[in-house]
Amino acid sequence: MKKLYLILLLPLLFVSCGEDFTSLSPISERNAQNFYETQGDFEVAITGAYDALQSNGTFGVNYVLMLEMRADNGANGGGATGLAATLQQLDDFEEISTASELETTWNQSYEGIGRANTIIARIDDVDFTDSNLKNQIKGEALFIRSLLYYNMAVIFGNIPEQFEEVTSPNVEINQVPASAIFDRIASDLEEAEGLLPPVAEGGRATEYAAAALLGRVHLQAGNPGAAEAPLRRVVDSQQYDLVEDYTQLWGASNEGNVESIFEVQYISGGVGEGSAYTDMYTPNGVGGGVGGGVAPQDVTDDIVAQFDPADERFEGTLEPDGDGGYWVEKFDSSPTTAFDAPNNWVEIRYAEVLLNLAEAIGESSEAYDLINEVRDRAGLADIDGNTPGTFEEKLLQERRLEFAFENKRWPDLLRFGVAKSVMANHLGISESEVTLLYPIPLGAIDVAPDEMTQNPEHQ
């Protein structure tokens, strides 16, 4: 019995995780055979799929560790002993395959994938009174699954593909390279784009969220030519624009603004739906640090030094801590209780589409115009081909400042092929000590040793 895929046994619905994934749904108190039969069932099920994006193993905490702390903008602020020891190992490229953060990220990402799989597998067989809603829910499930798989492929590289509903623990595990995952989710996002509405309420995914993510996936896969068309569709829609003041992008009062394309939704108030970012990144949380169940994040001197004095993004990104350092202003809020802030996670915004499109089309006057549109908002002078540095260096620097602490830095370093050199210089280590992929959790390999192999650099 391959318990690895019990987390994919989601012919049941849950908005909170049960200890046994084969038990009755905690919401419906009905088993799989009696669920997924009505439009209402699927409306509740898609809420459970969105909920997977909030979990600590995904956007709630661990994607921040894997994609932002890993790079040169942030650092573990919890020390190097006790509960924080594994965080320091992640930060220093010394992590081991038994680290709980890796296990949780793996399990909870696949849990969300499993929820989406079940919706996609069953929805076509159910009659809806609203066919548009049926298409929307299926498109949302495809989008959520693609977003989770994108992050897993960036983090772990070679991972099992599972795009069908699992109804038995005896599953054939097929470990594939990240390129195969990117190809499949690109196809899924094309389908999702055709199913999703152009506008949706309540922070739900839209056709333009799917198109924007599709462009991102193509870029990460090394296919800039394929990324151009979906990114242009977002721009040409005229649905989005840059918020005039960068500082007005952040916080609960600014969520769903004209620049926002997709946000992971959170709400405070002691209902278990709040976010931990204020506790992680600012001194204004009410949690207990690592011992309280969250990972405090420090700002590196390196990112502070990158800002031009005229860059208006600095004020919206960082705040002096009074001791010569800084904390992340983007995530400041007033949590109700520990790790219970109202801050949404802004995962896709229009500035990314503009810079992604510039990357997709390559060095040209149009590409510089797109970059300068972002720079103009920051109060900075235009750049062009005569500005010192290669096009790639200038674009990567612009992305670093625009998206600081938004989980874009590590994927960018990988995609631009500079992760080893940048991080070796940042940490004062050799390039051979910088690993590009995280080790696959030992528990996943132990369950299926004949089908699963470790990433070569961690063997």
DSSP 86-116: HHHHHHTT---TT-HHHHHHHHHHHHHHHHH
Q: Which helix (H) or strand (E) covers residue 391, if one does?
A: helix 391-402
Token representation of residue 91: 């930060």
Alpha helices (H) along 123-261: 131-156, 178-195, 207-220, 224-237
Token representation of residue 297: 């994040």
How far apart are the C-alpha atoms of 392 and 399, rounded to whole Å?
Answer: 10
Token representation of residue 421: 């050199």
pLDDT for 24: 22
Band of pLDDT at residue 293, cut at 50, 70 and 90: low
pLDDT digits (tens, 9 = 90+) for 176-188: 999 999 999 999 9
Mean pLDDT across the stretch 287-303?
Answer: 80
How far apart are the C-alpha atoms of 113 and 58, rounded to whole Å?
Answer: 11
Residue among 450, 453, 443, 305 nearest 5 (CA): 443
Query: What 3-state DSSP class applies to 346?
Result: strand
Band of pLDDT at residue 289, cut at 50, 70 and 90: low
Q: How far is CA 9 from the centre of its chain?
A: 23
How far apart are the C-alpha atoms of 241 and 238, rounded to whole Å?
Answer: 7
Residue among 354, 144, 351 nearest 265 (CA): 144
Q: Which helix (H) or strand (E) covers residue 262, if one does?
A: strand 260-264
Does the pTM of the predicted model rise above 0.75? yes
Mean pLDDT across the stretch 340-357?
Answer: 98
Q: Phi, psi at residue 265, to the nearest 5°?
A: -85, 135
Query: What 3-state DSSP class applies to 81?
Result: coil
> In which residue are the tokens 């992340």 written?
328
Token representation of residue 458: 């961690």
pLDDT digits (tens, 9 = 90+) for 313-341: 999 999 999 999 999 999 999 999 999 99
Q: How far is CA 25 from the centre of its chain?
A: 27
pLDDT for 294: 82
pLDDT digits (tens, 9 = 90+) for 52-104: 999 999 999 999 999 999 999 999 999 999 888 999 999 999 999 999 999 99
Q: Say how many C-beta atoms besides its own lie within 10 A of residue 201's C-beta.
A: 7
Which residues, 6 or more positions from 127, have their beta carbon under 8 angstroms from its beta carbon? 39
Residue among 140, 226, 119 nearest 183 (CA): 226
Q: Say how many C-beta atoms besides its own lie within 10 A of residue 222's C-beta.
A: 12
Band of pLDDT at residue 10, cut at 50, 70 and 90: very low
